[in-house]
Structure 1
Amino acid sequence: MLVDENIAGIATDKVRELMKRAGLGYRLDLLPWRRAYELAVAQKLTCVFSTTRTPEREELFKWVGPLASTDWVLYGKAERKLHLTTLEEARPYVIGTYNGDSRDAFLRAKNFKVDTAPDENLNPAKLMADRIDLWASGRYEGGTLIMRQGLAKKIVPVLTFNRVNLYLACNRQTPDEVINQLEASLHTMLKDGTSTRIEHLYDLKTPH
């Protein structure tokens, strides 16, 4: 996400610290997810985050992490007062996702009714306009978008339906020594409490 025109977030702050500790030069670009993903698959010395590690993606990348974990959440309009206890109960509804997202692939594989947006930022407005019934997002990502779009009282979590780990996914041609440096840096961040401090910083900024 952007904060005061700078790229920020739990994973972003951790990646910055990883690179600093590993002594690696880097450039951060904020791109549409599909484009960022395809660049990381095709381009040397390119990584994408935060990436869910799935069997379909396993051989496409070299992996660093997990950087963090997140719940997958279905959000709905507060005024509709939807109450779901299982994902199966969401079958009658149209669920909003975004292009290339692992939640989109997960729900499509299970034959749910999915409406895909080109950009995650469009889904809260689609939900408010009744173009979709529910919106599938991560708890942190979704909560941040809701807050930034001024919809905290209008969009609410309806169901938590999965929990996944998130990784830095690097092009297969990235040298193993670079991956090992990053993994070692992550280990020290976990050991000295830096990872936890970064997570707590954002816990104070987003709704649950």
Structure 2
Amino acid sequence: MRSLVLAGAFIFVQFGTVSATELKLVTQSYPPYSFLGADGTPIGASVEEMQSILVGTDIAYTMEIVPSARALALAETLDQFCFFGAGRLAERETRFKWVSPLFADATLLVANSHTSVHPATLADAKSMTIGTQRDTAIATILQNSGFRRLDLSSSFELTLAKLMERRIDLMTIRAATYRKLKREFQPLRAVLTLTDQEFGIACNKNIPDKVIAKLRAGLDRIRADGTMRSIFTKYGIEPD
């Protein structure tokens, strides 16, 4: 997967040199929110949100797409890192400084439409093999809800490939992503809704409060002036 090729190299979005105070923004590959464009740079709705939030600030930054588990670990352990597009859970609340919400979305369970897999309830789904990504908010929700037959991958693309190859029964997917893939004629069928989630920017606790304040002000600005809605519309996402 191209996202894994990018794992060791930062994409320089602004201010071409790295400094000790540069903000390092990481996220996972999860179209239409974040994915690699044809030129190998990050694009997507949440990527454009972050770029718009930072317009007019003096914050130097880089962006990189990495597996979700790595994004979470970097933001929690290294001083200059933020994971944008992170699911906001109660158990993560005190582990990061949060700027949110970037967006909210339902998470669905979907099946390969060429199969007869169709659980009627979440209890039925617990007997099936469900694919999701390692160390994501939805993986934690599933584990805490008693789902034991989880197939954990490093990326959304790997999970989707397993579903297409019928190596798993179901997978988790954000509603906006499901709609995007259906528009592209992917053989997917939604069977159940798991949860509604808020996603935000999870920053290392050592990032200065003045930087967090600038991020919050930028998020408030793009929400108030219509920029956020325009970005969502561009990527086929229904604004909340």
TM-score by length of 2: 0.78
The question of whether the paired residues in 1 share the 8 Å contact of 2:153 and 2:159 is answered with: yes
1:75 aligns with 2:126: no
In 2, Cα distance between equivalents of 1:153 and 1:187: 36
Q: Which amino acid aligns with 1:135?
A: M
In 2, Cα distance between equivalents of 1:65 and 1:85: 34
In 1, Cα distance between equivalents of 2:70 and 2:178: 20
1:136 aligns with 2:172: yes
- Percent identity, aligned pairs only? 29
Q: Which amino acid aligns with 1:2?
A: L
1:122 aligns with 2:158: yes
1:172 aligns with 2:205: yes
C-alpha RMSD of the superposition: 2.0
Segments of 5+ residues of structure 1 without an aligned counterpart are none
In 2, Cα distance between equivalents of 1:157 and 1:172: 38
Deviation per CA, 1:134-193: give whole Å up to 9, x if none: 00121234555x479x7x342222222211111011000111111111111111111110
Give the corresponding residue for 2:128.
93
In 1, Cα distance between equivalents of 2:67 and 2:154: 8
1:191 aligns with 2:191: no
Q: Per the alignment, do residues 119 and 48 of structure 1 end up closer, same or farther by CA in structure 2, a change over 3 Å counting?
A: same
The Cα of 1:68 is off from its aligned counterpart by: 0.6
SS at match of 2:159: helix
Deviation per CA, 1:59-105: give whole Å up to 9, x if none: 11101110011110111011224444542231221111111111111
Deviation per CA, 1:6-54: give whole Å up to 9, x if none: 2011111100111123331100011111111111111112100211111
In 1, Cα distance between equivalents of 2:86 and 2:56: 21
Residues 33-72 of structure 1 aligned to structure 2 (within 5 Å) = 33-72=68-107
Could you tell me which of 33, 36, 39 is aligned with 1:2? 36
The question of whether the paired residues in 2 share the 8 Å contact of 1:103 and 1:137 is answered with: no
Give the corresponding residue for 2:25.
none
SS at match of 1:27: strand
In 2, Cα distance between equivalents of 1:174 and 1:127: 39
Segments of 5+ residues of structure 2 without an aligned counterpart are 1-34
In 1, Cα distance between equivalents of 2:67 and 2:56: 28
The question of whether the paired residues in 1 share the 8 Å contact of 2:182 and 2:188 is answered with: no
Could you tell me which of 119, 140, 161 is aligned with 1:105? 140
- Structure with more contact order per residue of length (Cα contacts < 8 Å, sep ≥ 6): 1
In 2, Cα distance between equivalents of 1:114 and 1:17: 36
In 2, Cα distance between equivalents of 1:153 and 1:54: 30
In 2, Cα distance between equivalents of 1:6 and 1:119: 17
Q: Which amino acid aligns with 2:203?
A: C
In 2, Cα distance between equivalents of 1:27 and 1:193: 25
In 2, Cα distance between equivalents of 1:147 and 1:12: 22
Q: Per the alignment, do residues 46 and 56 of structure 1 end up closer, same or farther by CA in structure 2, a change over 3 Å counting?
A: same
In 2, Cα distance between equivalents of 1:142 and 1:90: 19
The question of whether the paired residues in 2 share the 8 Å contact of 1:33 and 1:100 is answered with: yes
Higher helix share: 1
